[in-house]
């Protein structure tokens, strides 16, 4: 069984690279890292019912399992190269594996990622992917380089994935507004949840300008909190500047939108800081790459992340939404 | 929760290496492969109830999850360096993670393996480990180099782990013989199942002499079958020459023993082929490393693996044990 499934994965995730000296089929892969580069490595696990709804299509799962890992490489400014895949399945469902491989392979082809190893096991559905990328020594983007006076940016738009997740949860009273939206609006939101775009080109463009970078997976404020903590600074975010897609604008009012944008998670955009003097370069360069970027705040003395109203007062999350702090 | 568990893992798996430029705590690790080397990478997943009994102690699970991966590096002749750990747990059980980290960390320290990344998620218990090692270009051991006339060897002894697994399965009628064995005999068998020894030093010593190598995980004959298939040769194994531990000899009769040794699996010894002219070097070198090695057969024209009696007739596995073929 296992052998046949591996064959399916090999055939459908068919990127080949000269730096793969020996791929799938031995005890381990043999790889030739490019001379004079550092290796960037990360892993993420997706568990059924925890990280994705049980009804997720295998093709979308294959895409997303690779995408969330490539997003981590993007946040480091690394160029992707090799992946390993540990796929645990309740049974040897050939069709499921074919669809999974097609989704994984589609994204792998876009970024020339070769599948060099893995393991297929029987058990509750879960996927662990490991990706490797390259970066020139000392040029990787990290979380710990923000300085007071830097400005804060985010690529693309925020909140769509969290909105789509609500749409899938029929117990959520706010889901009704998504259900009643036009089909193309619903589809646009769902695509952001099921097929996130790792911002590889944006990460590469930021290597020489960003002082810190992270991908937005837990939610914008939580993720900026990691930059603030590692850099030893505070961050202020202007609520009105958070970018929204036209789909999100069409379905949610301002309060609902803000909750999704600031805390929703699963966006896989890049949040980063850069010197104020470089702001116009950043905005121009990322616009030319298609993702775009929006200036959303600044790095200040102190610690933690504060979300601000236009009048400068702080907004905090309550159980039912966002309100002014006391 | 996740953050606290990662802290426990970091503190207790505490190997540091100069080639780790940035470890746990960012979007990805940054690593510096040694110039002029190839990178050897592998991953294995262990699922509760499939690859290990649910009652397995967390400390043994931590050891074994790393050991089975290091065993793959040993089979390539690679020198271990870095590991990633994806740990999925039903709940944030701090004590479990501490014990797991202690077992993992004990083996990691023996081989100077640094934990450079990972992911802790909620879900049914399962562990995926990825390990990276180094080898000089072109010198990795593979499965595809056996030539007709080579001899076949295996390190250590075979069958103990499978015997111990029987001991844990109270429905197995043959388990009674293990239960009735002296405590130290039972413990010796169990240790082989729960704390396998990856044969790293043996793999390194074989780099310039073995023509093919694999670690024994599925069972000796099955694993030699992979070498035969990839090398395009046949392999004959002499049943009487298969090495057994004193614990195995004390508990099982010859027929039971042969089934465990030839098909038991989970041994994590190295099975390999080498030119006949190098046989005495191989036996001497591996004896000096402590693992030892035994000559168990030869590479022949043809395909597949045949297990032979001293009179040259073939033995095949039947449901109740081993018998002469026809």
* Runs of H (alpha helix) within B156-209: 160-168, 175-179, 183-194, 200-205
- Give chain B's mean pLDDT: 93
How large is the C-alpha radius of gyration of chain A?
Answer: 20
- Of 3.40.50.970, 3.30.1330.10, 3.20.20.370, 3.30.70.270, which CATH number belongs to A2-135? 3.30.1330.10
Are A117 and B30 a contacting pair at CB < 8 A? no
**pLDDT for position B318:** 60
| Of B142, B139, B172, nearest in space to B252 by CA | B172
Out of A31, A123, A140, closest to residue B41 by CB: A31
Task: Report whether A92 contacts A100 (CB < 8 A).
Answer: no
Please say if the pLDDT value at position A326 is more than 70: no
Contact across the interface for A32 and B137, Cβ inside 8 Å: yes
- Contacts of residue A288, defined as CB under 8 A and 6 or more positions apart, other chains included, come to none
By C-alpha distance, which of A123, A134, A108, A118 is closest to A33?
A134
Q: Measured between alpha carbons, how far is A243 from B231 in angstroms, rounded to an integer?
A: 58
Window B:259-298, CB contacts with A under 8 Å: none
Where do you find CATH 3.30.1330.10 in chain A?
2-135
Question: A45 to chain B: which residues are within 8 Å by CB?
Answer: 86, 88, 119, 121, 128
Stretch B46-66: mean pLDDT, rounded?
Answer: 94
pLDDT of residue A325 exceeding 70: no
The pLDDT assigned to B2 comes to 62
Residue B212: the pLDDT is 98
Which residue from A223, A321, A200 is spatially nearest to A271, judged by alpha carbons?
A223
Judge: A27–B72 Cβ closer than 8 Å, yes or no.
Answer: yes
Contacts of A128 in chain B (CB under 8 A): 43, 45, 86, 119, 128
Q: Is A230 on the interface with B (CB under 8 A)?
A: yes
Q: In what order do the strands lie in the sheet with A321-324?
A: A212-215, A270-274, A151-155, A293-300, A234-238, A304-308, A314-318, A321-324
pLDDT at B145: 97
DSSP per residue, B23-56: -BTBSSEEE-PPTT-EEEEEEEEEEBTTTB-TT-
Directed axis angle between helix A58-76 and helix A183-194, to 10°?
60
Considering only CA atoms, give the Rg of chain B.
Answer: 20
* Any B CB within 8 A of A20 CB: no
What is the token pair recorded at A159? 């909140």
- Residue pLDDT, tens place only, A91-126: 989 999 999 999 999 999 999 999 999 999 999 999
Whether A189 and A261 have beta carbons less than 8 Å apart is answered as: no
Find the closest chain A residue to B38 by CA distance: A32
Strands A79-89 and A270-274: unpaired
Instruction: Mark yes or no for CB contact B119/A143 under 8 Å.
Output: no
Contacts of B123 in chain A (CB under 8 A): 47-50, 124, 126
Instruction: Please report, for residues A19, A241, B14, B175, the alpha-carbon distance to residue A263 in angstroms, rounded to integers and kept in the order given.
Output: 40, 15, 34, 56
Tell whether the model's pLDDT for residue A305 goes beyond 70.
yes
pTM: 0.94
Chain B neighbors of A36, CB-CB under 8 A? 35
| In the predicted structure, residue B141 carries a pLDDT above the cut 80 | yes
Contact A26 B118 (CB under 8 A): no
| Token code pair at residue A86 | 């540990």
Q: Is the pLDDT of residue B105 over 90?
A: yes
Q: Is B240 helix (H, G, I), strand (E, B) or coil?
A: helix
Rounded to the nearest 5°, which phi and psi values hold at A277?
-65, -20
CB-based contact B141:B206 (threshold 8 Å): yes
Chain B interface test: which of A122, A128, A133, A134 (most B C-beta within 10 Å) = A128
Contact A31 B38 (CB under 8 A): yes
Q: What is the pLDDT of residue A23?
A: 95
Q: Quick one: pLDDT band at residue A181, thresholds 50, 70, 90?
A: confident
Q: Is the pLDDT of residue B82 over 90?
A: yes
ipTM: 0.93
- A245 interfaces chain B, CB cutoff of 8 Å: no
Name the minimum distance, in Å, from the CA of B46 to any CA of chain A.
Answer: 8
pLDDT tens profile A186-228:
899 999 999 999 999 999 999 999 999 999 999 999 999 999 9
Residue B297, classed as helix, strand or coil, is: strand
Distance from CA of B86 to the nearest CA of A (A): 7
Distances (CA, A) of B36 to A35, A36, A45, B39, B137: 8, 10, 32, 10, 7
With tokens 């002469």, the residue in question is B324
Q: Which two tokens stand for residue A220?
A: 């914008």
Numbered ranges of CATH 3.90.650.10 in chain B: 151-308
What one-character DSSP code corresponds to residue B290?
A: S
The tokens for A293 are 């970027």
Whether the CB of A73 is below 8 Å from some CB of chain B: the reply is yes
Q: Which residues of A touch B41 (CB under 8 A)?
A: 28-29, 31, 82, 84, 116-117, 132
Task: Kindly give, in sequence order, each residue whose CB lies less than 8 Å from that of residue A290, ignoring residues fewer than 6 positions away.
Answer: A201
Q: Whole-angstrom distance between the N-terminal and C-terminal Cα of chain B?
A: 61
The 10s digit of each residue's pLDDT in B153-199 is 999 999 999 999 887 776 666 666 677 788 899 899 999 999 999 99
Q: Would you state the structure tokens that stand for residue A198, as one six-digit string?
A: 């790792």
- Chain-chain contact of A50 with B121 (C-beta, under 8 angstroms): yes
Right CATH number for B151-308 from 3.50.50.60, 2.102.10.10, 3.30.10.20, 3.90.650.10?
3.90.650.10
pLDDT at B164: 92
Residue A166: pLDDT band with limits 50, 70, 90: confident
Considering chain A, what is the average pLDDT of its residues? 93
Using a CB–CB cutoff of 8 Å, tell me whether A182 touches chain B.
no
The three-state DSSP-derived secondary structure of chain A is CHHHHHHHHHHHCCCCCCCEEECECECCEEECCCCCCEEEEEEEEEEECCCECCCCCHHHHHHHHHHHHHHHHHHHCCEEEEEEEEEEECCCCHHHHHHHHHHHHHHHHHCCCEEEEEEEEECCCEEEEEEEEEECCCCCCCCCCCCCCCEEEEECCCCHHHHHHHHHCCCCCCHHHHHCCCHHHHHHHHHHHHCCCCCHHHHHHCCCCCCEEEECCCCHHHHHHHHHHHHCCEEEEEHHHCCCCHHHHHHCCHHHHHHHHHHCCCCCCEEEEECHHHHHHHHHHHHHCCCCEEEEEEEECCCEEEEECCCCCEEEEECCEEEECC
Name residue, tokens 């090695």: B293
Of A47, A76, A143, the CB nearest to B88: A47
* Residue from the list A33, A142, A214 with its beta carbon closest to the beta carbon of B22: A142
Pairwise CA distance, residues A198 & A192, whole Å:
11
Q: Is B25 on the interface with A (CB under 8 A)?
A: yes
Question: Which pLDDT belongs to residue B323?
Answer: 43
Mutate to test the interface with A, among B125, B128, B225, B232 (most CBs of A within 10 A): B128
Q: CB–CB of B72/B131 below 8 Å?
A: yes
* B142 interface with A at CB cutoff 8 Å: yes
Q: Does B92 touch chain A (CB under 8 A)?
A: no
Closest CA relative to residue A261, chosen from A307, A298, A197 = A307
pLDDT, one tens digit per residue, over B226-279 is 999 999 999 999 999 999 999 999 999 999 999 999 999 899 999 999 999 999
Q: Supply the pLDDT for residue A167.
A: 76
What is the mean predicted confidence (pLDDT) over A242-270? 94
Name the residue facing A214 among B22, B27, B130 (closest C-beta).
Answer: B27
- Residue B194's nearest CA partner among B310, B301, B46 is B46
- Answer with the residue of higher pLDDT: A289 or B178: A289
């Amino acid at each position: 069984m296992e052998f046949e499934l591996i064959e399916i994965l090999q055939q459908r995730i068919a990127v080949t690279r000269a730096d793969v000296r020996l791929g799938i089929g031995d005890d381990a892969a043999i790889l030739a890292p490019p001379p004079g580069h550092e290796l960037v490595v990360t892993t993420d696990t997706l568990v059924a019912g925890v990280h994705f709804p049980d009804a997720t299509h295998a093709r979308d799962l294959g895409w997303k399992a690779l995408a969330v890992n490539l997003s981590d490489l993007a946040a480091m400014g690394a160029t992707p190269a090799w992946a390993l895949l540990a796929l645990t399945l309740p049974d040897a469902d050939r069709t499921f594996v074919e669809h999974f491989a097609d989704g994984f392979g589609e994204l792998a082809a876009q970024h020339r990622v070769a599948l060099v190893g893995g393991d297929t096991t029987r058990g509750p559905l879960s996927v662990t992917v490991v990706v490797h990328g390259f970066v020139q020594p000392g040029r990787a983007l990290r979380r710990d380089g923000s300085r007071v006076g830097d400005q804060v940016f985010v690529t693309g738009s925020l909140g769509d994935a969290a909105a789509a997740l609500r749409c899938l949860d029929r117990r959520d009273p706010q889901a009704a507004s998504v259900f009643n939206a036009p089909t193309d609006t619903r589809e646009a939101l769902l695509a952001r949840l099921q097929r996130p775009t790792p911002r590889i080109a944006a990460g590469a463009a930021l290597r020489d300008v960003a002082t810190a970078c992270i991908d937005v997976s837990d939610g914008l404020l939580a993720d900026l909190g990691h930059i603030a903590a590692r850099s030893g600074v505070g961050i202020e975010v202007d609520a009105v500047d958070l970018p929204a897609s036209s789909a999100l604008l069409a379905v949610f009012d301002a309060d609902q939108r803000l909750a999704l944008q600031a805390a929703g998670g699963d966006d896989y955009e890049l949040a980063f800081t850069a010197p104020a003097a470089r702001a116009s370069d950043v905005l121009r360069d990322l616009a030319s790459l298609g993702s775009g970027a929006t200036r959303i705040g600044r790095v200040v003395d102190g610690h933690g992340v504060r979300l601000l109203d236009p009048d400068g007062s702080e907004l905090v999350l309550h159980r039912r939404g966002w309100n002014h702090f006391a």
